[in-house]
Structure 1
Amino acid sequence: MADFERVADLQEIPSLGRKSIILQDEIPALLLRVDDVYYCVEDVCSHDGQPLTNGPFDGHDVTCPRHGAKFDVATGKPTKMPATEGIRVFDVEVRADGVYVRGDD
């Protein structure tokens, strides 16, 4: 199993904010914050492969800016068509010195 990587300072991302990151030097991901809870999802829409980076984020779902597909950031499950497949979610740990994310094996 992959190790956790430090990806952000604790106060770097405001609530309902985001940060684009690369996990394991190859996986584009999006770190999202809601109050004191952080989520991390793969930054690729399962519908057409476009980045989710600049899509609207309401605290629960992130929306693909291209066709409007929505994904639950806690589970990766699609919540609105045209997406029918989910996106990967990654484990997040908040530690005293920052936010850490574990990529896939």
Structure 2
Amino acid sequence: MSFVKACALADVPEEGAFAVEIEDTPVAVARIGGEVFALRDVCSHAEVALSEGEVYDHTIECWLHGSCFDLRTGKPTNPPATQPVPTYRVKIEGDDVYVSLKES
């Protein structure tokens, strides 16, 4: 499995998300409680950037209509979204975040 450097860990806010693009794929890198997650940075309901939403309780909330997605699985936890978003494997090496675009 190939991992690509996404960003520095310091770029990802505590309890927040950071937008990056890896191989033409928009990715939201999110951090909560010391854990780092990566998922496609596009809401499956309204096609807006999830990275602009709030991160809490292992979810990221779409700022437009309020759909929340589980950071671990990509599954929506409330409407209006009904389709999951892809999640990606993450590893931390030193001070950097690496992401594999192969769906986890």
The two structures have a TM-score, normalised by structure 1, of 0.87
Q: 1:4 maps to which residue?
A: 3
Q: 1:67 is matched with which residue: 65, 68, 86?
A: 65
Partner of 1:53: helix, strand, or coil? Answer: helix
Pairwise CA RMSD: 1.7
Letter in 2 for 1:89: T
Structure whose residues are more often helix by fraction:
2
Distance in structure 2 (CA, Å) of the matches to 1:95 and 1:45: 28
Amino acid at match of 1:45: C
Q: 31-40 or 86-95: which moved more?
A: 31-40
Match of 2:30 among 24, 29, 32: 32
Q: Separation in 2 of the partners of 1:38 and 1:85? A: 22
Which structure is larger by alpha-carbon Rg, 1 or 2? 1
Match of 2:78 in 1: 80
Residue in 1 aligned with 2:50? 52
Structure 2: runs of 5 or more not aligned = none
For the 8 Å contact 1:40–1:101, the answer to whether it is kept is yes
One-letter amino acid of the structure 2 residue matched with residue 11 of structure 1: A
1:34 CA displacement: 1.6
* Cα distance, 1:43 vs structure 2: 0.6
Paired residue total: 103
CA distance in 2, matches of 1:66, 1:11: 27
In the TM superposition, structure 1's runs of 4+ consecutive aligned residues that sit over 4 Å from their partners are: none
Residue ranges of structure 1 left out of the alignment (5+ in a row): none
SS in 2 for 1:11: helix
Q: Tell me the amino acid that sits aligned with residue 42 of structure 2.
A: V
Is the CA contact 1:16–1:59 (under 8 Å) kept in the aligned structure 2? no
- Compare the two structures and name the one with the higher strand fraction: 2
